[in-house]
Amino acid sequence: MKLSLVLKPKIQQGMRMGMKMSHILSIPDMEFREYLKEIEEDPIFCLLKEEKVIKMKGFPKTGIAMELKEEILPDKRERSIEPLLEENKDAVELIKGIGSEKFKRYFWENEEILSLTEIEERTGLTLFQIKAINSFIDNYEIVNLTSHQKEEYNTYTKIASIEDDLTIGFFLRDMVRGVYHIDRERLAILRDRIDREKSKRLTEIIRRLEEVNARKTTIYQIIEGIIELQRGYIETGKVEDLVILTETGLAERIGVNISSVSRAIYRRTVDTRWGERSLKFFFPSKRSKIKLILPEMEEASLVSDEKLKAKLEADYGISTSRRQITSCRNELKIPSLRRLSIQNIGSV
């Protein structure tokens, strides 16, 4: 007997949207920069700018992961930035000349999506100087995306810094800029004025912009959710303050598919005051949290697994079995009390 599955239109649409989100979130950050550049160089996108149909809208409580001091220099917390500053002395001097406000407004945020010529008019810089500053920012992004504190993160990209005041500092200019805000009334008026071929291309560009917005919003909401739910750890740096959190739980909280969360956190890290952490780190299961806590417990090899079980429940609120304690301890190669006792007897 041949079976067939007929999906309702809404379910089919939902599956298509899920696949699109999965694809857009899977694009590596370096490649995504080129994808955005391709969109913004399209003639239809330029038309949307001219007609003031689109502008940028930043995310709340976010900024640049570049601490602009009075001398307009990036924070030197990471040694990898120093060679970049040395190689881009001219660009740094130009940035000092225009001041931090103009630097943020026209080169990072660029809410109006201004062209190079328009930035030239507003800043008094030449096109050559503007390109030099943009090149410096591009290199700054690359250095931060690929510079890691731990060798295990060498295949990851570092996208943001969770600041001491619990705001988000992005290393990527496109995340600092936020999402494309589309004026639907102006869009409708523009569509009535253009021919059929341009209207088709317009629809395609708007679709791409909405997908880009979905990717950016998902990444932002995940980091924001981590800050809210893992605030205890972020403030203290103590692993016992990590809350057991599942990707499904956060997905439900922010209203996205679990696969979107999985792809968004894959091989991405953030800086914290306690060092660089993978986004996956903030989703500890009960077992992984036990494995984080055991090495921090001085008595881990000095008491029985039954007593460790009781201590985990009393001090950390983790209810688990003795068997799981034994399994975690063995994986971590922490000797048991019994083994230590046998070793001590044998050494006498």
Q: Dihedral of CA 194/199/201/202: which sign?
A: positive
Does 80 share its domain with 202?
Answer: yes
pLDDT tens-digit map of 129-151: 999 999 999 988 888 777 776 77
Per the listing, tokens 């060498």 go with 154
Q: Is residue 128 part of a domain?
A: yes
Residue 216 counted as domain residue:
yes
Q: What is the pLDDT of residue 316?
A: 81
Q: Which of 103, 157, 159 is nearest to 132 (CA)?
A: 103
pLDDT higher than 90, residue 304: no
Which residue segment(s) compose the domain that 82 sits in? 11-282
Q: Retrieve residue 193's tokens.
A: 């004025």
Same domain, 295 and 234: no
Residue 67 has what pLDDT? 55
For the CA atoms of the chain, what is the radius of gyration?
25
In a domain, 330, yes or no: yes
- State whether 269 and 206 are in the same domain: yes
Does residue 1 lie within any of the structural domains?
A: no
The count of residues in the chain is 348
User: Measured in whole angstroms, how far is the alpha carbon of residue 96 from the centre of its chain?
Assistant: 29
Q: Give the span between the Cα atoms of 61 and 48, in whole angstroms.
A: 28
**Residues 6 or more apart from 311 whose CB is under 8 A from it?**
297, 299, 303
Same domain, 276 and 299: no
Q: Are the C-beta atoms of 324 and 318 separated by less than 8 Å? A: no
pLDDT at 80: 63
Single residue among 258, 282, 306 that ends a domain in this structure = 282
Same-domain pairing of 75 and 145: yes
Q: Which residue has the higher pLDDT, 294 or 228?
A: 228
- Quick: pLDDT tens for 316-343: 888 888 888 888 888 888 887 544 444 4
115 lies in a domain? yes
Residue 318 and residue 239 share a domain: no
For the stretch 258-286, pLDDT in tens is: 999 999 999 999 999 999 999 999 999 98
pLDDT score of 132? 95
d(CA 186, CA 204): 17
Q: What is the DSSP string of 12-43?
A: HHHHHHHHHHHHHHHS-HHHHHHHHHHHHTSH
Is the pLDDT at 44 greater than 90? The verdict is yes
Residue 3 lies in a domain: no
Which of 306, 288, 287, 308 has its CA nearest to residue 298?
308
User: Percent of the chain, pLDDT > 70?
Assistant: 85
**174 and 90 share one domain:** yes
Is the pLDDT assigned to residue 16 strictly greater than 60? no
Average pLDDT value for residue range 57-61: 96
| Alpha helices by DSSP H, the chain | 9-26, 29-40, 43-50, 81-87, 89-98, 100-102, 116-123, 127-146, 173-177, 184-193, 196-229, 231-236, 247-254, 258-265, 286-293, 305-316, 322-332, 337-347
Mark whether 278 and 132 lie in a shared domain: yes
Q: Are 300 and 264 spatial neighbours (Cβ–Cβ below 8 Å)?
A: no
**CA torsion sign, 296 to 298 to 301 to 304?**
negative
Note whether 142 and 253 are same-domain residues. Answer: yes
Q: Does pLDDT of 14 surpass 60?
A: no
Is the separation of the CB atoms in 339 and 329 below 8 Å?
no
What pLDDT was estimated at residue 22?
A: 74
Mean of pLDDT values over 5-10: 36
The predicted pLDDT at position 159 comes to 93
Of the residues 264, 282, 300, the one at which a domain ends: 282
In a shared domain, residues 19 and 152: yes
Distance (Å, rounded) from C-alpha 27 to C-alpha 322?
Answer: 43
Q: Say if 250 falls within a structural domain.
A: yes
Q: Report the number of distinct structural domains present in the chain.
A: 2
- Whether 251 and 208 share a structural domain: yes
Mean pLDDT, residues 119-124 taken together: 94
Average pLDDT, the chain: 85
At 345 the pLDDT is 38
Mark whether 260 and 294 lie in a shared domain: no
The arithmetic mean of pLDDT across residues 206-224, rounded, is 97
Mean pLDDT across 69-83: 54
Task: Say whether pLDDT at 121 is over 90.
Answer: yes
Q: Which residue has the higher pLDDT, 4 or 63?
A: 63
Task: Tell me whether residue 6 is in a domain.
Answer: no
- Tell me 57's DSSP state: E
User: Bigger pLDDT: 127 or 297?
Assistant: 127
The answer on pLDDT for 77 being more than 60 is no
Q: Out of 250, 282, 314, pick the residue that ends a domain.
A: 282
